[in-house]
């Protein structure tokens, strides 16, 4: 394949996928990490990148060109001598591809896909050179004992890419899980004496609900970073109680803005719901920007003392009952404070009188 061609690295974290990511970076390609490759995803990539090369097995690639036999060749949809992948698509004509916005012909790119309101994913192009360069600028001196960091976030997520680059560029060891079950993750923490755990509030809750922190030795942990969703006050209190000697750091980022640098009021960092596009972001949906070029994340925030902001939830999650507005996280936090509730989820349903009504599904606390 040639430099600047768009290459889909199909798969989750593995030695092959990580090696492919950096090999394509050095070869000056545009890399698209995709854990689950669908027809819709491939169509979207071809629309914005003109052509995508799908690589799902070491040494085997497939170009998105039209087959002379159409989508179903004589051997069927997946011939025996070809890797399984979606049928190739016709490269569209019209505006220049998104990847042309890289400008520098020697630049390497990274394409991330985020969910779109119409069902088709949105394409966000980053300069991989800038992403790597930012990490190198902030790189601290190497430790005598290298950090072991567990890759819990997904390979095709901005948080997962950030974790991988941060780990390897400080000379750390990225521990790649075969499965992301709480039992597997906690077993890896114990086995490899993991110091830093990048994760999400939901995952921390699963660890505590399943008592995996009791069945495994997690005493090596020194830092837990969490993001991708808001952290309720009730859950934060339980995490602090469960991991009393571990520093907690909330991160904030989107596919369009990258991971933002945050400052902490105490041990938990809170970040703004509005952010300027990342210095590495080149191609994104301009409809998501304000007139002065701030990105609308769709998050609701509450301003606390000294200018700190607390993320309350997503604007689209608000339940409106006759003009009274409620965020599911607020009620879930109250319910989870009851010793009778093990887990719960709050959501809205249409109501002919009030517009919406509040519904709750709960799991009762079982006797232990």
pLDDT for residue 105: 75
pLDDT in tens, 209-220: 889 999 999 999
What CATH homologous superfamily does 318-364 map to? ANL, C-terminal domain (3.30.300.30)
Reduced to 3 states (helix: H, G, I; strand: E, B; else coil), residue 358 is strand
Bridging pattern class, strands 253-254 and 324-326: unpaired
Strand 6-10 and strand 30-34: pairing? parallel
Beta bridge partner(s), residue 343: 363
Structure tokens, 309: 């902001």
pLDDT surpassing 50 at residue 294:
yes
| Average pLDDT value for residue range 243-252 | 87
What is the predicted pLDDT for the residue at 24? 92
Give the ranges where 29-98 is alpha helix by DSSP (H).
39-49
pLDDT at 32 over 60: yes
The residues of the chain that CATH labels 3.30.300.30 are: 318-364
Q: Distance of CA 124 to CAs 10, 99, 210, 317, Å?
A: 17, 10, 37, 24
Predicted pLDDT of residue 360: 93
How long, in residues, is the chain? 368
DSSP string, 40-59: HHHHHHHHHHS-EEEEEETT
CA torsion through residues 325, 327, 328, 329, sign: negative
pLDDT digit string, tens, across residues 117-150: 445 678 888 888 888 887 777 666 555 666 788 8
Q: What is the mean pLDDT of residues 165-188?
A: 88
Pick among 3.40.190.10, 3.30.1490.20, 3.40.50.12780, 3.90.600.10: CATH of 131-314: 3.40.50.12780
CATH 3.40.50.12780 placement within the chain: 131-314
């Amino acid at each position: 394949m040639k430099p600047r061609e768009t290459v889909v690295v199909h798969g989750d974290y593995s030695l092959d996928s990580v090696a492919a990511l950096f090999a394509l970076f050095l070869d000056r390609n545009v890399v698209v990490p995709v854990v689950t490759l669908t027809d819709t995803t491939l169509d979207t990539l071809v629309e914005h990148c003109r052509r995508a090369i799908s690589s799902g097995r070491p040494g085997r690639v497939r170009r998105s060109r039209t087959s002379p036999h159409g989508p179903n060749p004589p051997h069927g949809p997946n011939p025996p001598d070809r890797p399984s992948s979606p049928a190739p698509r016709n490269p569209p004509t019209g505006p220049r591809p998104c990847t042309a916005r890289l400008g520098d012909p020697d630049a390497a790119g990274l394409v991330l896909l985020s969910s779109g309101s119409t069902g088709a994913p949105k394409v966000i192009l980053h300069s991989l050179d800038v992403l790597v360069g930012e990490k190198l600028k902030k790189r601290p001196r190497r430790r005598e004992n290298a950090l072991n960091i567990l890759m819990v976030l997904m390979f095709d997520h901005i948080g997962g890419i950030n974790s991988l680059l941060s780990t390897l560029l400080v000379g750390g060891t990225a521990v790649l899980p075969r499965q992301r079950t709480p039992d597997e993750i906690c077993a890896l923490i114990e086995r490899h004496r993991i110091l830093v755990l990048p994760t999400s509030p939901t995952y921390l809750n699963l660890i505590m609900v399943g008592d995996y922190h009791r069945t495994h030795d997690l005493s090596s942990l020194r830092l837990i970073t969490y993001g991708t969703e808001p952290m309720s006050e009730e859950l934060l209190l339980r995490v602090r109680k469960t991991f009393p000697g571990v520093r907690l750091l909330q991160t904030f980022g989107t596919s369009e803005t990258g991971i933002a640098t945050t400052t902490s009021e105490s041990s938990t960092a809170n970040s703004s719901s509005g952010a300027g596009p990342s210095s590495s972001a080149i191609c994104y949906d301009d409809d998501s920007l304000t007139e002065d070029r701030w990105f609308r994340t769709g998050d609701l925030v509450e301003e606390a003392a000294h200018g700190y902001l607390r993320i309350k939830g997503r604007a689209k999650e608000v339940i409106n009952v006759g003009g009274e507005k409620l965020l599911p996280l607020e009620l879930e936090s109250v319910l989870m404070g009851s010793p009778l509730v093990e887990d719960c989820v709050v959501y809205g349903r249409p109501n002919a009188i009030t517009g919406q009504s509040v519904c709750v599904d709960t799991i009762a606390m079982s006797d232990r």
